[in-house]
Amino acid sequence: MMEKQALPASSCSLVLLEETKKSPITLSNGGGGSGYAPAAANGSLVPLTVAGTGVAGGVVGTACVGQDKKGGVVNGVGPGYQERETWTRQMDFIMSCVGFAVGLGNVWRFPYLCYKNGGGVFLIPYLLIVFVGGIPIFFLEISLGQFMKAGSINVWNIAPLFKGLGYASMVIVFFCNTYYIMVLAWGFYYLIKSFTATLPWSSCNNEWNTPSCIEIFHHQDCKNASFANITVGSSNMTCADLADARSPIIEFWENKVLSISSGLDEPGKMNWELILCLMAVWVLVYFCVWKGVKSTGKIVYFTATFPYVVLIILLVRGVTLPGAYDGIMYYIKPDWSKLEEAQVWIDAGTQIFFSYAIGLGALTALGSYNRFNNDCYKDAFILALINSGTSFFAGFVVFSILGFMAAEQGVDISQVAESGPGLAFIAYPKAVSLMPVAPLWAALFFFMLLLLGLDSQFVGVEGFVTGILDLFPGKYYHRYKREIAVAICCLLCFIIDLSMVTQGGMYVFQLFDYYSASGMTLLWQAFWECIVVAWVYGADRFMDDVARMIGYRPFPWMKWCWSFITPCVCMGIFLFHLVNYKPLTYNNVYVYPWWGEVIGWCLALSSMLCIPVSLLYKLFRAKGTFKERWAHLTTPVWGAHHLEYMAPDIKSLSSMSPGTDDNKVIIFESVM
């Protein structure tokens, strides 16, 4: 049936044998094919010269890959294999990346870090690390996806020995998808509760409130210690009692929403209202993702842009409130002494890796749906500008409101400034309850929160599903393959999420947040991405490949960052985190038990160990000397679209007649 033709004496020959009963490959120009612009000096893709055809349609070609003699195995994509989807418009890709990368961290984490680390001064380390870490890796992930036309696992066919990087990113994004949606469930719950004449968290007259609840803290009446026993306000509390008093919003959050137990070892019962909210959000995510990028690309136009409309409305409202000016000045006032503290630089680096969504594999998946010639270099800078600009802009919105809240309560802004869920579900709702027409502003804020998180969530699910589906080639084609894969993914995550809607659910949520997709795991991932592309595949070689895609060579700064600067930044921050590791606590009071920390480290190591374990396994399984194993396992495995660019004179492989198993493209790697 199949014949293997004689090979020219080349150490990196590629043989394409195609056997078909109906239509052999047609060659133009008499069967000779020359490639595109010669840029093979550093081992990038080179022209594939077609030697000839036989009766059976066998095609023999050679492709020697530069001076390092690294060839590439080509993955044949024959009949029955679907061509990869592409974005309907390039703007779909931009909006999806904005939707994914611009999320809750931009609104609830960056402003707090900016205030905590010296106000406007924080922008110096932040912008510096954007250019030496954020943009280079952001560009690397998008361009790698676009070049390899594959999700987070198969994209590492560029150096198959390091495919563990793909598995690691899949583990991280799976954990992210699992716990991140809880924030959306809580936001959805608050949104529903906002549609009332009086906000339920604005008063102490509810069933979940305790005797310690107090609506207005009269701190100004208690500044003099001699008045310690004087009753303040109408609450019949003395100044001494104020230390233990609790705000109605904290009681609503802890007693009503979370019904929080005393610790991780007391899961308690499930909150059925939260389960319904969780189910509703997962259903929403499913129907956003199930049809692939064609539908996702349309939905993000709304989910990515509307939060900006709400942010502008909230800013206009915020700056007109008393105390807003003080809040904004507190946010941007520079404290130059902070630049001497290492923690400021670490916070800047960690925030960039979080907010740029680096290391999750989802950016790679989004890039894989681009046209091969899309200018991803320009896209990376546009997206970085939008991401960091949104973070800075959101700070004005948040601190104008916090300034008003501090003025209303007569306390310093440092006492009301929060980050993370504390800002979203305690500080902001409290501020909103002090405004006229409070339900309107509450509904607007939580609707924005929902949209900000929703597009990050469904692009994360899209990235995970893309990686999974890439593992099953076209011969496993099923009409509803994607829909079934998305359904299984959503269902599995939902089942794990049930542990987070119990009374001990907040402790489980924090475990996932602190360990599974923490700064350490993302930094470890980013470090290895740079090492593999720059040192194993070759930075110059990849720059050549990028030049083939976008038509010009990026500024050498990118190559220097991938090779030296970014890995050093990543490893430096990683080691700082490791040395300054502190056990996880809840509200700085509850300390997790030892077995809770063990679970957390298992979550972290489940992704981090994928890289060394996979590498060692492949090396031990291979045959030959170490040098031969290394050479074989770091040889790229090219896809069919690379063949098209190696041999543009061969007509599209997809034009071949659909056939069965005995009518397919098979590629052999020469052993000569």
Reading the block at residue 204, the tokens are 């102490």
Which among 395, 368, 322 is positioned nearest to 549, based on CA atoms?
368
Q: Report residue 536's pLDDT band, with 50, 70 and 90 as the boundaries.
A: very high
Please list, in sequence order, all residues whose beta carbon lies within 8 angstroms of the beta carbon of residue 312, skipping any fewer than 6 positions away: none
pLDDT at 556: 92
What confidence tier does 645 reach under pLDDT thresholds 50, 70, 90? low
Q: Is pLDDT of 592 > 70?
A: yes
Residue located via tokens 């002494």: 337
* CA dihedral over 390, 393, 395, 399, signed as positive or negative: negative
Residue 31 has pLDDT above 90, yes or no: no
Residue 290 binned pLDDT confidence (cut-offs 50, 70, 90):
confident
CA distance 285 to 446: 17
Judge whether 363 and 141 are in contact, CB under 8 Å.
yes
Rounded to an integer, the average pLDDT of 149-167 is: 91
**pLDDT 10s digits, 48-77:** 333 333 333 333 333 343 334 345 655 544
What is the pLDDT at residue 136? 94
State the pLDDT at residue 110. 86
Band of pLDDT at residue 317, cut at 50, 70 and 90: confident
Looking at residue 108, its pLDDT comes to 82
Mean pLDDT of 30-50: 37
* Per-residue confidence (pLDDT) for residue 152, from 0 to 100: 87
Residue 562 has pLDDT above 70, yes or no: yes
DSSP 8-class letter at 85: P
pLDDT band at 624 (very low <50, low <70, confident <90, very high): confident
Q: How far apart are CA 116 and CA 126, in angstroms?
A: 13
> Which element (helix H / strand E) includes 112?
helix 110-116
Top pLDDT among 635 and 519 is at 635
Element at 128 (helix H, strand E): helix 123-129
- Whether 74 and 643 have beta carbons less than 8 Å apart is answered as yes
Residue 203: is its pLDDT beyond 60? yes
Residue of 599 and 30 predicted with greater confidence: 599
Complete DSSP assignment for 440-474: HHHHHHHHHHHHHHHHHHHHHHHHHHHHHHHTS-G
Distance CA 527, CA 570 (A): 6
Show binding-site residues for Na(+): 99, 101-102, 106, 355, 387, 452, 455-456
Over residues 486-498, the pLDDT tens digits come to: 999 999 999 999 9
**Lowest mean per-residue pLDDT among 181-185, 224-228, 439-443, 629-633:** 224-228
Mean pLDDT confidence for 529-558: 92
- The set of long-range contacts for 416-420, using a CB threshold of 8 Å and a minimum separation of 24, is 417/112, 417/115, 417/116, 418/112, 419/108, 419/109, 419/111, 419/112, 419/113, 420/108, 420/109, 420/112
pLDDT at 658 > cutoff 90: no
- State pLDDT tens for residues 83-117: 677 888 888 889 888 888 888 888 888 888 888 88
Q: Hey, what amino acid is at 265?
A: D
CA distances for 287 relative to 7, 159, 233, 274, 469, angstroms = 51, 35, 51, 20, 18
Average pLDDT, the chain: 78
β-bridge partners, 585: 591
Cβ neighbours for 451, distance < 8 A, ≥ 6 positions apart? 302, 303, 306, 307, 310
Which residue, among 631, 628, 612, 571, has the nearest Cα to 162 in the 3D structure?
A: 612
Residue 223 has what pLDDT? 58
The superfamily in CATH containing domain 90-227+238-620 is Amino acid/polyamine transporter I (1.20.1740.10)
Q: Where are the alpha helices (DSSP H) in 475-538?
A: 481-497, 505-511, 519-531
For the cut 80, the answer to whether the pLDDT of residue 8 exceeds it is no
Percent of the chain topping pLDDT 90: 31
Looking at residue 147, what is its pLDDT?
92
pLDDT of residue 237: 62
End-to-end Cα distance, the chain: 23
Binding residues: 99, 101-102, 106, 355, 387, 452, 455-456
Count the neighbouring beta carbons within 10 Å of the beta carbon of residue 53. 16
Short-list 194, 185, 195, 145, CA closest to 166: 145
What is the DSSP secondary structure assignment for residue 198, as one 8-state letter? S
Q: Which of 106-120, 231-245, 394-408, 429-443 has the lowest average pLDDT?
A: 231-245
Can you give the pLDDT at residue 482? Answer: 83
Domain ranges of the chain: 90-227+238-620
The kind and range of the H/E element at 297 are: helix 293-319
Is pLDDT larger for residue 425 or for residue 535? Answer: 535
Task: Name the DSSP class of 405.
Answer: H
Amino acid residing at 351: Q
Judged by average pLDDT, the poorest of 121-135, 321-335, 551-565 is 321-335
pLDDT at 340 > cutoff 80: yes
Beta carbons of 165 and 600 less than 8 angstroms apart: no
